[in-house]
């Protein structure tokens, strides 16, 4: 869950706790605990939201960026090993189908 939250913060500007609630489909209390833990570990910090004084923008600290980049590097190595021997066309078909499955799941109620 922490990695998913870090990825959400890293990949978008102006991410708020509410954005993480909707993206990760978790309740507010769970996300509040998660964000507090990330802040306590010096991976994330809060700054005032210029568009809404009631909320805070979440940003990665230098340490958060460093840790996130390490995880990205590890994921890349694992991915490269996973796809060895698989034709590029087959990979593209797989990703297209997986993306459609994910989109269908997001639209399910």
Residue 89 lies inside a defined structural domain of this protein: no
pLDDT tens-digit map of 29-73? 999 999 999 999 999 999 998 888 888 999 999 999 999 999 999
Q: State residue 39's pLDDT score.
A: 96
Q: Is 8 helix (H, G, I), strand (E, B) or coil?
A: helix
The two structure tokens encoding residue 89: 């066309």
CATH of residue 10's domain is 1.10.10.10
C-beta of residue 45 within 8 angstroms of C-beta of residue 39:
yes
Start-to-end CA distance of the chain, whole Å, equals: 22
Q: Which residue has the tokens 């297209």?
A: 96
pTM above 0.85, yes or no: no
Domain of residue 48, residue span: 2-82
In order of 4, 105, 108, the CA distances from 26 in angstroms are 12, 16, 16
Write down the H helix ranges in 1-109. Answer: 2-11, 17-24, 28-40, 62-82, 88-107
Considering its fold, how many domains does the chain have in total?
1
Q: What percent of the chain has pLDDT over 70?
A: 99
Gap between the Cα atoms of 15 and 4, Å rounded? 13
- Tell me whether residue 29 is in a domain: yes
For residue 109, what pLDDT is reported?
62
What share of the chain has pLDDT > 90, as a percent? Answer: 73
Q: Which residue has the tokens 């993306």?
A: 99
């Amino acid at each position: 869950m922490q990695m998913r939250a870090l990825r959400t913060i890293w990949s978008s500007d102006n991410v708020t706790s509410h954005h993480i609630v909707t993206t990760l489909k978790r309740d507010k209390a769970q996300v509040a605990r998660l964000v507090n833990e990330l802040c306590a570990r010096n991976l994330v910090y809060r700054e005032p939201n210029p568009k809404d004084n009631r909320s805070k923008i979440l940003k990665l600290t230098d340490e958060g960026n460093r840790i996130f980049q390490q995880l990205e590097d590890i994921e890349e190595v694992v991915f490269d090993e996973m796809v060895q021997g698989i034709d590029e066309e087959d990979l593209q078909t797989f990703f297209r189908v997986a993306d459609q499955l994910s989109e269908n799941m997001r639209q399910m109620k």
